[in-house]
Amino acid sequence: MSTNTLDPLDLFDIQSELSDDEAMVKDTVARFVDDRVIPLMREAFEKHEFPRHLIGEVAELGLLGSSIDGYDCAGMNSVSYGLICQELERGDSGLRSFVSVQSSLVMYPIHAYGSDEQKDRWLPAMARGEAIGCFGLTEPHGGSDPGNMKTHAKRDGDDWILNGSKMWITNATIADAAVVWAKTDEGIKGFIVEKDMPGYAAQEIENKFSLRASVTGALFFDNVRVPKENLLPGVSSLKGPLSCLTQARYGITWGVIGAAQACLDEVLRYTQDRVLFGQPIANTQTIQIRMADMARRITTAQLLSLRLGRLKDAGKMRPTQVSLAKWNNCRAALDIARDARDILGGSGISAEYVPNRHMLNLESVITYEGTETIHQLVVGKELTGANAFG
């Protein structure tokens, strides 16, 4: 490649905006994904299996709870966390989901709202991948409105009695501990529910067409007695779980860039080799316009996420900005994956090519952590001051 040639997956040279440490994190995770993740994802997806044996390697690289300082965590900055998500999701959204949930939805609330004992007990074990967590917010009757949750906890002496259920929970059946959000007479509180507590059960949701290489399940609480030591003492309102979502959504804005890059990379190669009407289809105007549009959307997403990461590292990131980026970047990635599938023609439905797998995964990613509509309405509320959620 001549020095005048731009990197098609990084047209605005985001790479040169990274510090040496950030670039090293990106390159290290990229190598891991190329060598260890991509070769097995097709089969994992087809078999509907989360590649659990990768957890140790992910932990070894310092990718679990990477933003936390201390407790055996790597203490990296937010841009590095974003780059980790981007590279993992270039492999598959399922592995990125695992890391998002463990880091942003389980370790983050324990670190931000937990007691010293809870931090000492769970964070180092979770950083090493020896303890797995899940996050229970969504309920069967409607995840977009978590303030309407039915799961509740009542004081009983020093303990709490937990009843209810949660739905669509990543890592549900492999989790040693679930951070569960429940209504109480004192506001919405978070509880660390351990897998062996009587009355607690997790059940896998099978036959998904999306995120097949990720574990998704339901959680059930039937008079689960939770000791007061397992209550997160630092928060008593919806702000608790929503602040966790802000962390995870931030990572997702980066993650989906990786999925989109994998799709563009595939069609850039394919269209050079696919000769129709006497020329490679890469030479035709419409295919070039479609791929240029993919590059435009990827570039926009990269610039949004990098700016968001710099704001986050400066302590200035606002939830509305995260909503706009989650909406923009998920929509861009999903549209790119769908169009890449089409450019591959019939081959596009074969498991040998990545766009269809990414497209199916992205149907979940655009829905979880707040649907596209929810994020549009968050931005609408910021612009108008009027709350369309009622």
- How far apart CA 30 and CA 263 sit, in angstroms, is 16
Q: Which is nearer to ligand TGC, 32 or 181 (CB)?
A: 181
Q: Which DSSP helix (H) or strand (E) runs through 221?
A: strand 216-227
CA atoms of 174 and 224, how far apart (whole Å)? 19
Alpha helices by DSSP H, 92-137: 93-100, 108-113, 116-127
Among the listed residues 323, 304, 303, 306, the one whose alpha carbon sits nearest the alpha carbon of residue 314? 306
369 is catalytic: yes
Q: Are 13 and 68 in contact (CB under 8 A)?
A: no
Site for ligand TGC in 248-277 (CB under 6 A): 248
Measure CA of the first residue to CA of the last residue in the chain; give whole Å. Answer: 55
**In the 8-state DSSP scheme, what is residue 387?**
-
**Per rule CB under 6 A, is residue 170 in the interface with ligand TGC?**
yes
Q: Which is nearer to ligand TGC, 97 or 165 (CB)?
A: 97
The least distance separating ligand TGC from the CB of residue 258, rounded to whole angstroms, comes to: 13
Exposed, middle or buried: residue 131 (CB in 10 Å: 0-12, 13-18, 19+)? buried
Amino acid at 183: K
For ligand FAD, the closer of residues 243 and 347 by Cβ is: 243
362 binds, among ligand TGC, ligand FAD, none (CB under 5 to 8 A by kind): none
Binder of ligand TGC out of 67, 103, 246, 356 (CB under 6 A)? 246
Query: Which of residues 211, 215, 259, 324 is near ligand FAD by CB under 6 A?
Result: 211
Tell which residue, 5, 108, 104, 94, has the closest CA to residue 44.
Answer: 94
Question: CB pairs under 8 A, 24+ apart, for 314-318?
Answer: 317/246, 317/250
Supply the minimum distance, in Å, between the C-beta of residue 2 and ligand TGC.
40
The residue from 75, 147, 233, 345 that contacts ligand TGC (CB under 6 A) is: 147
Among 201, 371, 381, 382, binds ligand FAD (CB under 6 A): 371
Give the CA radius of gyration of the chain: 21
Q: Which positions from 360 to 379 touch ligand TGC by CB under 6 A, shown as an x/- string?
A: --------xxx---x---x-
**Residue 373 lies near ligand FAD (rule: CB under 6 A):** yes
Task: Please report whether residue 81 would count as binding ligand TGC according to CB under 6 A.
Answer: no
CA distance 159 to 161: 7
By beta-carbon proximity to ligand TGC, the closer residue of 22 and 89 is 89
CB 369, min distance to ligand TGC, A: 4
Residue 151 as a binder of ligand TGC (CB under 6 A): the answer is no
Task: Tell the smallest beta-carbon distance from residue 148 to ligand FAD (Å).
Answer: 10
Nearer to ligand FAD, 22 or 369 (CB): 369
Q: Based on the shown chain and the rule CB under 6 A, indicate whether residue 165 belongs to the binding site for ligand TGC.
A: no
Residue with tokens 């990635």: 333
Residue nearest to ligand FAD (CB): 143
The total of other beta-carbon atoms located within 10 Å of residue 147's CB is 11
Q: Which residues bind ligand FAD (CB under 6 A)?
A: 101, 134-138, 142-144, 168-170, 211, 216, 364, 367-369, 371, 373-374, 389
Q: Which residues are catalytic?
A: 369
